[in-house]
Amino acid sequence: MEAIDLGGTDTKVGIVASDGRVLADHVFATDHERGGTAWAEQTARVIEDLSDRAQVCRDRIGGIGIGAPGPLSVREGILTNPMPNLPGWQGFPICAVLSELRGKPSRLDNDANCAALAEHWIGAGKGIADLIVLTLGTGIGSGVIVEDRLLHGFSDNAGELGHTSINYRGPRCVCGNRGCIELYASAPAVVRLYRRKVASSKTVRSRRPKLTARDVFEAAVGGDARARETFEQVGRFLGMAIANMVHAFNPRMVVLAGGLAEAAEFMLEAIEQTVSEHTYPEHQAGLEIRASDLGRRAGLLGAARLMLDHC
């Protein structure tokens, strides 16, 4: 399969075998200002190079699986309004354009849904019928699997759990809601919380103008108490949101994926304690919350699985 994980910052492209092995892959910067068609042409060229590198003949490629930011239309293969990740791409017919360029059928789904498919296929959620995957990064996405089926909803946009509110008086989110969980537990939120904790500090890290969540994670690994407190606080926020999800969907497992999931060791205790405090015992029984096994390749692998399911 040809697999594409389109993000607002980077695009991951790969050739993936039917057993989940990545035969060749490449990451390049998403130049969204050039528009969708220019991006698709670049992506098609990269795929052609990867096919040559993997020594996979064109006839053996079943199709193209695409994971992308929503909102989108699975049925029509269109990015309906992928803001703020891809401004100006509203209505871009991504499947039709890529299929024409590559001469192959294509399938589209939300990037977090693709991550859920991957975890359910060969990751932490393998064999788990009822599963929620949270992708923690610049924002928070999610994919929900119920009785081994990915939940899409009426307009193909179910599972936007990052935009569920934990504070109705909270700050305004880009989606228009207030107090969305991604305002409290995403990578930018980690940076904001940490900066507040070290505001009076004179350390080199606290004065770094382009501090990232990765920097805070490395500080936590190095024993920085305030960095660890930051992730514990984020864990409590996530726990509140996950408690709501547990009541709504009664999953057997919740998987933390995305770049921020690398810090799971500093968040899991707070998450589990908060979920325990805010859910019925019947919902807690058998519930497991854990980090992804697939790392940053989850979206790419899920895009491949998306196409594999329709071949």
DSSP labels for 34-93?
G-HHHHHHHHHHHHHHHHHHHT--GGG---EEEEE-SS-BTTTTBB---TTTSTT-TTB-
Q: What is the pLDDT confidence band of residue 37, given thresholds at 50, 70 and 90?
A: very high
How much is the average pLDDT of 169-181?
94
Q: Are residues 224 and 302 in the same domain?
A: no
Number of domains in the chain: 2
Q: What is the DSSP letter of 297?
A: G
| Rounded Cα distance, 195 and 68, in Å | 31
Can you give the residue range of the structural domain that contains 50? 2-115+297-308
- Indicate whether 17 belongs to any domain: yes
Q: Are residues 288 and 198 in the same domain?
A: yes
- Indicate whether 33 belongs to any domain: yes
Q: Are residues 30 and 162 in the same domain?
A: no
Distances (CA, A) of 191 to 12, 73, 143, 146: 25, 33, 25, 34
Q: What is the DSSP letter of 59?
A: G
Q: Indicate if the pLDDT at residue 205 is higher than 70.
A: no
Q: Are residues 144 and 273 in the same domain?
A: yes
Q: Are residues 93 and 170 in the same domain?
A: no
- Indicate whether 224 belongs to any domain: yes
Q: Are residues 65 and 142 in the same domain?
A: no
- Indicate whether 16 belongs to any domain: yes
How much is the average pLDDT of 166-189?
94
Query: What is residue 202's predicted lDDT score, i.e. its pLDDT?
Result: 60
Q: What is the pLDDT confidence band of residue 47, given thresholds at 50, 70 and 90?
A: very high
User: pLDDT of 96-144, one tens digit each?
Assistant: 999 999 999 999 999 999 999 999 999 999 999 999 999 999 889 999 9
- Indicate whether 131 belongs to any domain: yes
- Indicate whether 209 belongs to any domain: yes
- Indicate whether 110 belongs to any domain: yes
Q: Give pTM, 2 decimals.
A: 0.92
3-state secondary structure of 129: coil
Secondary structure E strands in 228-275:
253-257
CATH number of the domain encompassing residue 238: 3.30.420.40
- Indicate whether 121 belongs to any domain: no
Q: Are residues 43 and 111 in the same domain?
A: yes
Q: Are residues 169 and 97 in the same domain?
A: no
Q: Are residues 165 and 234 in the same domain?
A: yes
Q: Are residues 288 and 301 in the same domain?
A: no
| Rounded Cα distance, 287 and 271, in Å | 12
**How high does pLDDT run on average in the chain?**
93
User: pLDDT of 248-285, one tens digit each?
Assistant: 999 999 999 999 999 999 999 999 999 999 999 999 99
Q: Are residues 233 and 135 in the same domain?
A: yes
Q: Indicate if the pLDDT at residue 159 is higher than 70.
A: yes
Q: Are residues 107 and 184 in the same domain?
A: no
User: pLDDT of 50-100, one tens digit each?
Assistant: 999 998 887 788 899 999 998 999 999 999 998 788 989 999 999 999 999
